[in-house]
Structure 1
Amino acid sequence: MARKKITNAGVNGSVGTEISVESVKMVIETNYYGTKNITRAMIPLMRPFAAGARIVNVSSRLGRLNGRRNRIEEPDLRHKLGDLDTLTEEFIDNTVSSFVQQVDAEVNCYCPGWVKTAMTGWAGNVSPEEGADTGVWLALLPDEAVSGKFFAEWREIRF
C-alpha cells in the first residue's frame, strides 16, 4: 500500500495590521523551515513505498510569486524563483535568510503623508517641508533611541 502524507502546519504571524520582527521569524520558521524539515524527515520513511509515496503540503495563494497582493516586486528575483529548471534549495534558503535579515535590520521608516509633489499630481495636502519634517526628526535622534519602527507626524504608527 502506498503511503501518503499531507502536512498542514502553517501560521500567520500578523494580528490585524501589526507585524513584528518576532512574528516574521515565527512565520518563516514554521511555514518554510517547518515544512522543509518535516518533508526531509518523512522521505526516508516513505522510500520503501516509493512507487506511490507522496507528500502534499497545504499552502496559500498569498505565497504566489505573481500574486496580486503579495507579488515579489523585483523581476530578477521573481524570475529566478519561478525557473524550476535552475532553482536550487540553496538559493531558496539564501533568499529566505536575506528576507529575515532585511526585516531584522533595525531601520526606522516613515510616511511623509500626501505631499504636494509631482507624484501626487500636486494634489497633496502636505507641503514638501512638512512631509520631510518627521524624516529629519528621525535622522537627528540620538543613536539607538528607537529603531525598527514606522512613523508618521512624529508618532509611531503600527503597520
Structure 2
Amino acid sequence: MAFDIPKTRAYMHLDTVFTMVDYDQFTIFHKIESPLDVYSIRKGSSDHLQITYEADDLSAILKKYLHLPAVNLIPCGNGDPIAAGREQWNDGSNTLAISPGKVVCYNRNYVTNEALRQNNIEVLEFESYELSRGRGGPRCMSMPLVRENLH
C-alpha cells in the first residue's frame, strides 16, 4: 500500500497522521481522510510493478487488504476539531505500538490518549516537554530493527 498524504509541513510523514495501534485499529488525523490517495502495489509480469488507485474510502481499503470484517479509525482529538489540531501539532497520532493494543504516547495529548483508552487500547504515557519541541512523536523517535513475529 502507498498513501499519498498532503504535502505540508504538518503532515511530514504518514506516521504523524495515521498509525496502526492494534490489528484492526488506527489513530488518524481527520484532515487527511478526504485528500488521501491510496494505491495498492503488486508485482506484475516481468518484474514490473502493478500500481492501482484505490477508489474506496480508507476504512473499506483497510478492511479489504487486511482481510478484516471491520476497522476502527480513532480520531486524534477524539473528533473535536480544536483538540485535534492542538494534539496533531504535538504528535497525537504518532503513537508507538509496542504490542497489539498497547501504545506509548506523549502525556500532553490527553484527549487522544483518552480516546485510545475508550477503544480498549492500553496507553503508556511519558512526559514530553523537550522531546515534542523537536517535532517527532514516540513512533518517529524509535526504529525497531528486529521484531518478534506476533502470529
The structure whose Rg is larger is 1
TM-score over 0.5 (shorter chain) = no
Name the TM-score class by shorter chain.
under 0.3
The structure, 1 or 2, with the larger RCO (C-alpha pairs under 8 Å, 6+ apart) is 2
Bigger fraction of residues in helix: 1
Q: TM-score of the superposition, structure 2-length normalised?
A: 0.26
